[in-house]
Structure 1
Amino acid sequence: MEDNGKPIGFCQYYACQDSDESLGGYTKLKGTYSVDYLIGELDYLKKGYRKQILESLIYMIMTHDDAKRIVVEPEPENKASCRLLISRGFDFDQATGIYVREL
């Protein structure tokens, strides 16, 4: 991702069935997608960019006819991402440590 041509981070989404991640067993469920995002420039942190990125990724996933859920496994110590996921409608699955949003 870029801001006026300046690289500031990375984001992607993917169908879990195409990955080798376990994601608490959710990868075996058809219609499950996941996202990754990272802002690598300190000047862009705490300014709402992560929220915009996550919302865009959610929207793109929702355009897929088979999309049923989004699962994310942030590092537990990344409290900002954990809070962001909860604020965007994800539920925390205590048993797996995965954040899940049904679509």
Structure 2
Amino acid sequence: MRLLFEKEAIRVRHLQSDDKQLLVKWLSTPSVLEYYEGRDNPFDLEKVNKDFYSLDNGVSKFLVLYEGINIGYIQYYQVNDKTSSINDYSEDETNFGIDQFIGETEYWNKGIGTLLVSSMVEYLVEQKQAERVVMDPQVTNVRALKCYEKCGFKKVRILPKREFHEGEFRDCWLMEYKEPKKMNMV
């Protein structure tokens, strides 16, 4: 198992081929799909293979374990014209985007998402020299918005009709975590 990082009870490891059935399970659960892909868009093995395993699109993909149990998924990518349609940022900066979900719903509302997101931000800042980390959650995903704000993300602007979800285009927030500039001491 190739571990990306471990912090407290969270371990984040590279996605492996034998994780496919977990992704099928999670991404066919209506409560998970409510904010990730849509309840009208459940995944089967073919769709998991296509969306998570057949693309080399600059996205780094990981499974999330909590106390040794597989509970979710997280990915990151450097924001550029190939990986993101968000064009607010200069390619002269080191900016990353992240997406994640906890697929085991009994682990919701326990602070695990906050630990996961803040740990990934810390990893990206320390190991990848990220100057900024961005996300684009739907404006109606109140639980996620609160989690991200706890992790230091700020709402930048509304992305109107950003995501086609359950038969309609939905607005999303562009949210960012910006690494504070370190002052040089003389």
Q: Which residue is equivalent to 2:178?
A: 102
1:19 Cα offset (Å): 4.2
Would the alpha carbon gap of residues 18 and 10 (structure 1) be closer, same or farther in structure 2, given more than 3 Å must change? farther
TM-score normalized by the length of structure 1:
0.83
Q: 1:19 to 1:60 in 2, by over 3 A?
A: farther
Structure 1: distance between partners of 2:81 and 2:74: 17
TM-score when normalising by structure 2: 0.49
Distance change (3 Å), C-alpha of 1:75 and 1:57 = same
1:71·1:100 contact (CA, 8 Å) conserved in 2? yes
Among 74, 88, 96, the alignment partner of 1:11 is: 74
Equivalent pairs: percent with the same residue?
Answer: 23
In the TM superposition, structure 1's runs of 4+ consecutive aligned residues that sit over 6 Å from their partners are none
Larger of the two Rg values belongs to structure: 2
Change (3 A) 1:12 1:49: same
Asked whether the equivalents of residues 77 and 83 of structure 2 are also in contact (C-alpha less than 8 Å), the reply is no
Q: What letter is aligned with 1:38?
A: F
CA distance in 2, matches of 1:34, 1:59: 13
Q: Return 5+ residue gaps in structure 1 as ranges.
A: none
Higher relative contact order (CA 8 A, sep 6+): 1
1:90 deviates by 1.4
Q: Secondary structure at the match of 1:94?
A: strand
User: Aligned to 2:176, what secondary structure does the other structure show?
Assistant: strand
Q: Which amino acid aligns with 2:135?
A: V
Aligned length: 101
Higher helix share: 1
Could you say what the CA RMSD is over the residues aligned between the two structures, in angstroms? 2.0
Aligned to 2:83: 20
